[in-house]
Amino acid sequence: MDRDWTAYTKGLLRAEMARRQITYKGLVDKLAAIGISETEANLRNKISRGSFTGAFLIQCLSAMGVTTLHLEG
């Protein structure tokens, strides 16, 4: 299957934010609580471009309290 993995990954992160009603500012605060410093503008840009590492994705998911992730087959 030919998939745009960048779009899929940023969509996954945005969906988890929406599911938990977490804003970009809220995610900045949650990341700060686990020792990761980001500005709201930088976070918006990273997610919009999809230019983040797998480690950053896991950090965001962890900060939001995501314990289970369902991926499309």
Q: In the prediction, which pLDDT does 58 show?
A: 96
Distance of alpha carbon 56 from alpha carbon 7, whole angstroms:
16
Structural domain contains residue 58: yes
Q: What is the pLDDT of residue 15?
A: 95
Task: Check if the beta carbon of residue 5 is closer than 8 Å to that of residue 53.
Answer: no
Cα end-to-end span (Å), the chain: 10
Residue at 32 is within a domain = yes
Domain-embedded: residue 31: yes
Q: Is residue 53 part of a domain?
A: yes
Say if CB 17 and CB 64 are below 8 A apart. yes
Q: Is residue 1 over pLDDT 70?
A: no
Question: Domain for residue 19, yes or no?
Answer: yes
Question: Over the stretch 8-22, which tens digit does the pLDDT of each residue have?
Answer: 999 999 999 999 999
Alpha-carbon dihedral sign for residues 9, 22, 60, 29? positive
Range of the domain at 19: 5-63
Mean pLDDT of 35-55: 95
Please report whether residue 69 resides in a domain.
no
Q: Is the pLDDT of residue 56 over 70?
A: yes
Provide the domain count of the chain.
1
Domain annotation covers residue 73: no
